[in-house]
Amino acid sequence: MPYQEALEALFEAFRANGILCKWNEPLAGHTSFKIGGRAALSVWPTGRAQIILVLSLWRDFGDGCPLCVLGKGSNVLISDKGFCGLVVITTKAKRVVYEEDEVEDRDAFRRGVYCHVYTECGASLTALALACGDEDRALSGLEFAYGIPGTVGGAIVMNAGAYGSDVERVLISAEYYDLSSGEIATLMDEQMELDYRHSIFLEHPEWVVLSGVFKLSFGNGEEIRAKMRANIESRREKQPLEYPSAGSVFKRPVDNFAAKMIDTAGLKGVSVGGAQVSEKHAGFIINRDNATADDVRKLVCLVRDEVEKLYRYRLECEIRYVSDGLDGDCGWEYVE
């Protein structure tokens, strides 16, 4: 196994610090596509402090070992060969702190307009939206996020959005760990260069998001929950949620829709191996029958080529691909 000595040193360091880690964890179970080989070594830090410790230990003992940081894997396609280095799975780092719980007079605070909500990177975006819409909280701004299957960290990196809103509208800051220097820093909203499915973190894969702070407004709890129910019903009606997928495959073109272009090109239902363009929503590629990452990548190329022939426009993929890491880097790139 490549990087064997570094991985063994990391394994012992994690165990010495009481951090859960495993050899040869199947990564398919950690992605919404249900595709991917095994990780050489996986680790599950339980909070911000442990994530920082894990990344610091990687800097100390990693010795060139590739690193992949993974949340719920909802916008990710992992190589069939797995990953030869260390995979940090953040889903146990899910602490949430509401500003209103930190003040002496909560009733007086709630007579204001906004409440800041701090959340660690591994928190479920859907669970956060649901908690904020609870009758006791009635915090508005994350209704769009209910049903998005990723984590807060991934949502910040990709500026996740739906139903006319996105993370950019409510995120005011994000904290990150710099793998190059070992330093921890915070970016404010204007510094994060948030745009459609983009943030500055995509330009800096060495920056690992640790947490975010959202600015939510006090609203009517029943109206908030009604909007979330409507959103999830719309998802169930229009999207192929009965099959594993990574959500919308392609970014929205200017003045058009990727799904419409794919449908017009006659590609609904087209398959490569076990991967298929959904017959329910052409913007989705589904894992219909034990698809491999190679099946998905070939189908992405086929769709892009056929759409380009018809529209003279090349669709831009938004799914991130994690290679096996054997080239020595972090393995992140867009599916091509």
Give residue 326's pLDDT band: very low, low, confident or very high (50, 70, 90). confident
pLDDT at 332 over 80: no
Q: Is the pLDDT of residue 295 over 60?
A: yes
Mean pLDDT score, 200-204: 95
Looking at the structure, do residues 117 and 213 belong to the same domain, yes or no? yes
pLDDT of residue 334: 56
Q: Specify whether 318 is catalytic.
A: yes
Report the CATH number that the domain containing residue 216 is assigned in CATH.
Answer: 3.30.465.10
- The answer to whether residue 16 sits within a structural domain is yes
Whether 50 and 103 share a structural domain: no
Range of the domain at 270: 250-317
| Selected catalytic residue, list 100, 137, 318, 320 | 318
Is the separation of the CB atoms in 319 and 248 below 8 Å?
no
DSSP symbols for 159-228: T-EETTEEGGGTEEEEEEEETTT--EEEEEGGGGT-BTTB-HHHH-TTEEEEEEEEEEEE--HHHHHHHH
| pLDDT score of 331 more than 70 | no
CA–CA gap between residue 204 and residue 188 (Å, rounded): 16
Among candidate residues 197, 297, 304, 320, the one labeled active-site is: 197
> Do 159 and 192 lie in a common domain?
yes
Task: Please tell me whether residues 19 and 84 are part of one structural domain.
Answer: yes
Q: Of 93, 113, 143, at which residue does a domain stop?
A: 93
Q: In the annotation, is 271 catalytic?
A: no
Answer whether residue 166 is part of any domain. Answer: yes
141 and 204 together in one domain: yes
101, 219: one domain = yes
In this prediction, residue 333 carries a pLDDT of: 56
pLDDT of amino acid 39 = 97
**For residue 285, how many C-alpha atoms fall within 13 Å in the half-sphere facing its CB?**
38
Q: Tokens 């809103």 identify what position?
A: 165
In the 8-state DSSP scheme, what is residue 331? Answer: -
Q: What is the pLDDT of residues 159-171, one digit of tens each?
A: 999 999 999 999 9
pLDDT band at 328 (very low <50, low <70, confident <90, very high): low
Q: How far apart are CA 281 and CA 269, in angstroms?
A: 10
Catalytic one of 140, 173, 248, 323:
248
What is the pLDDT, as a whole number, of residue 127?
97
138 SS3 class: coil
What pLDDT was estimated at residue 1?
64
307 HSE (CA, 13 A, CB side) = 26
Please say if the pLDDT value at position 256 is more than 80: yes
* Domain co-membership, 132 together with 194: yes
Please indicate whether residue 229 is annotated as part of the active site: no
Q: What pTM does this model have?
A: 0.94
What the block records as the tokens of 14 is 């994690």
In a domain, 32, yes or no: yes
| 313 contacts: CB under 8 Å, gap ≥ 6 | 253, 256, 261, 307
Q: CATH no. for residue 34?
A: 3.30.43.10
